[in-house]
Amino acid sequence: MRWLWLILLWALPAQAQESIVADLSQSRVAITTTFTGSEILIFGAVKRDAPVISPDPLEAVITVAGPSAPVTVRKKARVAGIWINTAEVEVDAAPSFYAVKSTGPLYDVISYTEDLRHGISKDQAIRLVGFGSAIADPVEFREALVRIREAEGSYLRLESGVSLTEEALFRASVGLPANLVEGEYTVRIFLTRGREVVSTFETGIEVHKVGLERFLYNLAHNQPFIYGLMSLAIAIAAGWLASAAFRLLRR
């Protein structure tokens, strides 16, 4: 019987594999004093070892995530006519920037189970742990964080933001805002069929300050005393110059 099963398995056609070949328009972003944002083009192709016969169309989801860090989210309430913090939740890790783009409505492209497994949506990208029992609904704090960062332009979601041609070529552009946090940004690409992930690809974008911006950042963090003296000297010099100019204008 075992030999019969082996023969049947051997006789079945091998399932075609789909993989991703992708690249970015730039893999390094330099933050200077005149930096106003940047746009990254993500493009690539689908590589197959054999034709794929499936009733489900090929779909794609692309995410771009900035460095993650803990965030404290507080809830305000009016008590005796004064707005005060009444509750708070410590978000274990939230990306400083997060963009999700797909070939269609997100949950038409992937299942909720696949979203949980891969952490694709913004809600799944935020780790919400360690809240106390006094918090009745911690999810509302995560939703509040998402709303705040969407208003800032740090969190983006664009359904139908990925172009997929003939189930072979794909492209999407992601705009990076001016208030980027330094660090490694992770780009992930997911191919799906029947709302199930069939292939993934991951690469990175390096974001760093350069020039005067880098010098001032390093000085402020590594030698804060010298940075403070320099700031004070600049303020005194600016005040003296303004006073001198004002006296000249009065003459």
Where does residue 160 fall: left (phi above 0), alpha (psi -120 to 50 degrees), or beta otherwise?
A: left
Confidence band, pLDDT 50/70/90 cuts, at residue 14: very low
CA-CA distance, 147 to 190, in Å (whole number)? 25
pLDDT, tens digit (0-9, with 9 covering 90-100), for 116-166: 999 999 888 888 765 555 566 677 888 888 888 988 889 998 888 899 999
Fold of 14-209: Immunoglobulin-like (2.60.40)
> What number of residues does the chain have?
251
Which residue, 150, 140, 221, 187, is CA-closest to 44? 187
Do residues 185 and 205 touch, judged by C-beta distance below 8 A?
A: yes
As a dihedral over the C-alpha atoms of residue 203, residue 172, residue 97, residue 107, rounded to 10 degrees, the angle is -100
pLDDT at position 4 is 46
Say what angle helices 224-250 and 211-222 make with each other, to 10 degrees.
Answer: 120
Joined tokens for residue 40: 């990254």
3-state secondary structure 71-112: EEEEEEEEECCEEEEEEEEEEEEEECCEEEEECCCHHHHCCH
pLDDT at 169: 95
Domain boundaries, the chain: 14-209, 210-251
pLDDT (tens digit, 9 = 90+) per residue, 193-251?
999 999 999 999 999 877 555 556 565 666 676 667 667 777 777 777 777 777 777 76
Comparing CA positions, the residue from 197, 207, 210 lying closest to residue 65 is: 207
Check whether 190 has a pLDDT greater than 80.
Answer: yes
pLDDT at site 85: 65
